[in-house]
Structure 1
Amino acid sequence: MDAEKSKTEVTVDDILRLLGPFGRFNILNYVLILFPVLLSGIYSSVYNFEALDLTYRCATECDDPAANYTVPHDENGVPAKCLRYAPANISLTNDTCSPHMFDNTTEIECDSYIYFEDHSIVKEFNLGCQDWKRTLVGTVHNAGFFISIPLVGLISDRYGRRMALVFAIVSSGIFGVIRAFSINYEMFIVLEFLEPALGGGVYTACFVLALELVGPKGRVFVSLLFNTMFILGGVTVTLLSWWLQSWRYLLLVIYTPAIFLLFYLFMLTESFRWLFSKGRYEEGLNVLKKCEKINNVVIPKDHYDQVEKHAIMQRDTRKFEAKEINRSTFKQVLMSGMIWRRLMTCSFLWTSSTLVYYGLSINAMELSGNTYLNYIVVIIIEAPANICKLIFLDRFGRKRVIATAFVLTGVILVNYGFLPGGGNWSTVFYLGGKFFITLAYNSLYIFAAEVFPTNYRTTLLAICSTIGRIGSAVAPQTPLLARYYESLPTLVFGVMAAMSGFLVLTLPETNNQKLPDSLKEAQDLDRRERDDKIDNSTNKS
């Protein structure tokens, strides 16, 4: 009897299959949602161009820039940016631009500069030879995500996916536009933090809403669309920066459209799944019926009645489980060594991934050649990596693909450190490192979600993601390592990636496995893997 009932029971996913993943209703909502994703990709890279280093030299008593005797030069004849020769202790004439007026045996630090470019805050706020202030911009920007990740999750669960999306994107627009009018470095750096702190959850809010509006067959395609739009965002901000050559105009151009997305409150469809979870069944069913009408599909009326009953039962079940879980979750997490091991492992993998992923993008701007082209190429290499992720994960398994990608990243980047700079091979190795870390990083999202039990999954993933932001916050500082050894940043990235590759092997394989719904099922994953290893070794012997 129960088996017969389960066969005829209709769920939301059944209705979504009938509605189809690519009807007019879906496409309209995808277009609306993907625009904020594009903006999110733009905002995640803009700090690289706001604080771009410029060409400048010391301002000395001699105004002639061709006077090489005023500053020391390196072995390649490049003049120092931060040192000058001390004025000679003589006063014969009013002539201040003669070789004998400078003591080339004594070098002193510059106290003022002559800038030959003006497209970043370096000139605006006189940051010459204060690289720590430049790199602090990226660190402060990424630190804002420590606030935005839990904040957007809270708004999304309490007030709806649509409200979370609009709040995040409009906040980004407001603080971004205000930042364009910064009058000093202190004002700029505060706004650089507030913008991602309140608006950094745009991508997450969009992703959740898109997945909840589409059926199972459309989720992989939606994921690929999101990755593609994010990459296009990075390319767009690079081209705009190259064209405008003004950080203030750049901020006004990219952040102003976000403010107008306030109208999404009236244009965008709310998630019917969220409406069901809040007991607003009639509103949720109206969303499905609207989709039916626009897609020109006919759904049997009794399907909606069954879906409403199913949603009510699920909500009651979740309420009961929540009470039971809240009594024991903290104790179970503290008592489970397996949970702690997976949490620490995934947190390290996340930190390593963000450090290497963002670090390679940022350090690409320090490479020889055109800064803008370097950054575009390093971003575009992510596209084939995302396609490979979709192909390889199901075919070869999560663990094997991620471990291989991490190890190859490590091997490539360590070897890159011993190649002569500026050559074709060094470029190939650098792009190879970015390709494989992108494959590992994006695959980690899926893998980490599958190793944790359902009752703890959201909380533990949020912890991993938040701790992982340490890597992205540290990444902007890594170009400073090149002062001590030119290839030190990539060597650090390579070692971290290689360590992560071996650490992945301590986690269980989750490919083609049922998602663990409880602590016991999560432990069974480990047990099955150990049994499989024993069986394989026995068969070989």
Structure 2
Amino acid sequence: MSEFKQKTTNIDEILKQLGWFGRYQQKRWILFIIIIWVLLLTEFSYVFSTINPKYRCLVPDCETASNTEYKPVWLSNAVPFKGKQPSRCKRFQIKADKEHRSTGECDSDLFNYNVIEDCDEFVYDTKHTTIIQDFNLLCEKVWMIAIPGSLHAIALFLALPTTGYIADRIGRKKVIIFGVVLGGLFCFIKSFSISISMFVICEFLQAASAGGSFTSVYTLIAEFTPAENRLLGCVISFGCLSLAQMSIAGIAWMSNSWRLFLRLVTIPTALVLFFMPFFLPESIRWLISQNKISEATAILENIAQENGTELKEEHKLQLKVMLDNSKDSNKIRNESLKDVFKSIPMVIRLVTCSICWISCTFIYHGLFIMAGEISGYRYLNFILVGLAEMPGSIICYVSCNRYGRRLTMSVGLITVGICCGFYIFIPDGHWLRLIMFLLSKSAITAALGTLYIIVAEMYPTSFRVTLINGCSMFGRIGQLITPTMPILATYWNILPILIFSLVSTTAGFLSLILPETLNTTLPDTIEEAVNINKKTVINPLLYG
């Protein structure tokens, strides 16, 4: 047996020999990127549907709804100010002995400054409409703005472990197709919502149905790419986040209505459905781990044919031996999740990854949502924040290759803490604030991208998606909190950034507990995963 093992090669070597980026892979990579882009368009859609615009009371004695502006010169005479911003829901009482005026000047003697009244008509700083205007989520109902985002996170929390388990049982491909179809469908139905209740129900169903698809695509990419090129593949796929954020911000910018916006972001979903069932491959590693050797061999032969290469005789022999001995090679298939939790190193890694995931998703989504609150034009800010992720992805790739995954993630998180700390002490409106904000977004992108790489590389094949989704499930706790950040900012505008700084710094030091996975092969068993930094344990199913 040992003599045979020395003559055989692993799946990484087979993929490399067939050409890791030949014509077959080029077509699939285009499809991977499009699928990720489509999934993220619907994933982030709730952010732009629930943007809380700046607004103030309409002063009917001085203006009309069709003939006004957000900050006319006379506004301080009619509305109380908090700092540089007018009160959203209060205005000064009109003196009873004064004649009502049409649009024009509003002198201070028109108002009784001893009495402040509530209002029921408002002027907005933008022509874009969101559910805030349509469903009247203003003033005392402002807390309801957080409901869609919170329910989105709850749906992911509930769905991720389920879809992860399903992906490890029935395959990555079916989960991806299922998520893309239902996610797009519920997003489209959501655009016809007639109430906040209908909107949040559709949001919940959309997130629950598509929740595990991104991690399934990500895992498929990691398992589809040879070890030497896996980092590049994972970074490119994670870099699609930047493309998706800039795209969705541009679509929202051009769409004055949130209903039109939601319908536009679902159009790519319908287009990708024509290609996905026919061109999306199943994971070869997963097929082998499930003893589906014939299907794995068929995919390898398709790769060889389309790339103009041929399987070596030793590889054909290896696959034949796998097929002949598949009934006896039950080591992976007989492992269960109970075995994972019996391993103390695996439990420590699961807990550490879950805490780091909570921190990363909290800050990543929090900074994205808070982009609409910083000075400047909000949609341009969203585009800049998406653009800031590109250098983060580049840093992730370079640093992970040179300094390792663990150090890259730790330094990235601590950098976020430092930048957010500086942000607090910079005056509002100063250009340095935007720079610190963008640096924070770039650093958290590098940290979160590295976290995805670490978890993909340190968990065994049979439970890879289950365990990744398990960690990501706890990460939804962080995402669950993020919709409250704009609300906290209305009380103290630097409070969210202060929280980001403290959380990221703590997680940065905690991440040093995780193992280094640089230059390691993907583990296929629990034993290999535990010994990820030690001598590689030979897997008889994958190595003959």
Query: In the aligned structure 1, how far is the partner of 2:35 from the partner of 2:526?
Result: 36
Report deviation, 1:93.
7.6
Q: 217, 221, 224: which one pairs with 2:232? A: 221
> Does residue 502 in structure 1 map to residue 514 in structure 2?
no
Q: TM-score, normalised by structure 1?
A: 0.85
Query: Which amino acid counterpart does residue 36 of structure 2 have in structure 1?
Result: V
Structure 2 counterpart of 1:175? 186
**CA RMSD for the aligned pairs?**
3.3
Name the stretch that deviates more: 42-51 or 453-462: 453-462
Q: 230, 235, 259: which one pairs with 2:246? A: 235
CA 1:291 to 1:174, structure 2 compared with 1: closer, same or farther past 3 Å? same
Question: Contact 1:147 / 1:197 at 8 angstroms: preserved in 2?
Answer: yes
Query: In the aligned structure 2, how far is the partner of 1:470 from the partner of 1:150?
Result: 14
Query: Which amino acid counterpart does residue 310 of structure 1 have in structure 2?
Result: M
Query: In the aligned structure 1, how far is the partner of 2:84 from the partner of 2:332?
Result: 71
Query: Which amino acid counterpart does residue 406 of structure 1 have in structure 2?
Result: L
Alignment coverage as a number of residue pairs: 519
Query: Which amino acid counterpart does residue 18 of structure 2 have in structure 1?
Result: L
Structure 2 counterpart of 1:191? 202
What is the SS of the residue equivalent to 1:417?
helix
Structure 2 counterpart of 1:32? 31
Query: In the aligned structure 1, how far is the partner of 2:411 from the partner of 2:265?
Result: 38
Query: Which amino acid counterpart does residue 120 of structure 1 have in structure 2?
Result: T
Name the stretch that deviates more: 139-148 or 484-493: 139-148
> Does residue 475 in structure 1 map to residue 475 in structure 2?
no
Question: Contact 1:399 / 1:508 at 8 angstroms: preserved in 2?
Answer: yes
Query: What are the within-5 Å matches in structure 2 for residues 383-532 of structure 1?
Result: 383-448=390-455, 460-507=467-514, 509=516, 511=518, 522=530
Structure 2 counterpart of 1:534? none
Query: In the aligned structure 2, how far is the partner of 1:311 from the partner of 1:84?
Result: 78
> Does residue 12 in structure 1 map to residue 26 in structure 2?
no
Q: Cα deviation per residue 1:236-284 (whole Å; 9 max; x = unaligned)?
A: 1111111122211111111133134333223433334444444443333
> Does residue 137 in structure 1 map to residue 148 in structure 2?
yes
Structure 2 counterpart of 1:117? 127
Structure 2 counterpart of 1:283? 295
Report deviation, 1:187.
0.6
Structure 2 counterpart of 1:56? 55
CA 1:389 to 1:314, structure 2 compared with 1: closer, same or farther past 3 Å? farther
CA 1:134 to 1:310, structure 2 compared with 1: closer, same or farther past 3 Å? same
> Does residue 211 in structure 1 map to residue 222 in structure 2?
yes
Query: In the aligned structure 2, how far is the partner of 1:406 from the partner of 1:128?
Result: 35
Q: 159, 169, 174: which one pairs with 2:170? A: 159
Query: Which amino acid counterpart does residue 402 of structure 2 have in structure 1?
Result: R
Question: Contact 1:168 / 1:199 at 8 angstroms: preserved in 2?
Answer: yes
Query: Which amino acid counterpart does residue 131 of structure 1 have in structure 2?
Result: V
Query: Which amino acid counterpart does residue 225 of structure 2 have in structure 1?
Result: V
> Does residue 268 in structure 1 map to residue 288 in structure 2?
no
Structure 1 counterpart of 2:369? 362
Query: In the aligned structure 1, how far is the partner of 2:526 from the partner of 2:293?
Result: 28
Question: Contact 1:351 / 1:467 at 8 angstroms: preserved in 2?
Answer: yes
Question: Contact 1:49 / 1:247 at 8 angstroms: preserved in 2?
Answer: yes
Higher helix share: 1
Query: In the aligned structure 2, how far is the partner of 1:143 from the partner of 1:149?
Result: 10
Report deviation, 1:34.
1.6
Q: Cα deviation per residue 1:131-157 (whole Å; 9 max; x = unaligned)?
A: 322233222223321233233324423
Report deviation, 1:4.
3.5
Structure 1 counterpart of 2:539? none
CA 1:311 to 1:148, structure 2 compared with 1: closer, same or farther past 3 Å? farther
Question: Contact 1:413 / 1:493 at 8 angstroms: preserved in 2?
Answer: yes
Query: In the aligned structure 2, how far is the partner of 1:469 from the partner of 1:245?
Result: 30
Q: Cα deviation per residue 1:425-484 (whole Å; 9 max; x = unaligned)?
A: 222222222222222222223335566688876655433221111111211211222223
What is the SS of the residue equivalent to 1:126?
coil
What is the SS of the residue equivalent to 2:425?
coil
Name the stretch that deviates more: 517-526 or 430-439: 517-526
Q: 241, 245, 248: which one pairs with 2:256? A: 245
Query: In the aligned structure 2, how far is the partner of 1:44 from the partner of 1:523?
Result: 36
Query: In the aligned structure 1, how far is the partner of 2:367 from the partner of 2:426?
Result: 16
Report deviation, 1:365.
1.1
5+ long unaligned stretches in structure 2: 535-544
CA 1:136 to 1:483, structure 2 compared with 1: closer, same or farther past 3 Å? same
Q: What percentage of residue pairs aligned between the two structures are identical?
A: 30
5+ long unaligned stretches in structure 1: 527-541
What is the SS of the residue equivalent to 1:81?
coil
What is the SS of the residue equivalent to 1:85?
strand
Structure 2 counterpart of 1:104? 113
Which protein has greater RCO, CA pairs closer than 8 Å, 6+ apart? 2
Report deviation, 1:512.
5.5
Q: 118, 136, 142: which one pairs with 1:126? A: 136
CA 1:211 to 1:308, structure 2 compared with 1: closer, same or farther past 3 Å? farther
CA 1:329 to 1:353, structure 2 compared with 1: closer, same or farther past 3 Å? closer
CA 1:463 to 1:156, structure 2 compared with 1: closer, same or farther past 3 Å? closer
Query: Which amino acid counterpart does residue 306 of structure 1 have in structure 2?
Result: Q
Name the stretch that deviates more: 385-394 or 442-451: 442-451
Question: Contact 1:19 / 1:295 at 8 angstroms: preserved in 2?
Answer: yes
Query: In the aligned structure 2, how far is the partner of 1:21 from the partner of 1:49?
Result: 38
Name the stretch that deviates more: 41-50 or 393-402: 393-402
Question: Contact 2:61 / 2:101 at 8 angstroms: preserved in 1?
Answer: no
Report deviation, 1:117.
2.6
Report deviation, 1:198.
0.3
Query: In the aligned structure 1, how far is the partner of 2:242 from the partner of 2:100?
Result: 58
Query: What are the within-5 Å matches in structure 2 for residues 308-327 of structure 1?
Result: 308-310=320-322, 313=325, 316-317=328-329, 319-320=330-331, 322-323=333-334, 325=336
Query: In the aligned structure 2, how far is the partner of 1:215 from the partner of 1:314?
Result: 23
Query: In the aligned structure 2, how far is the partner of 1:8 from the partner of 1:341?
Result: 36
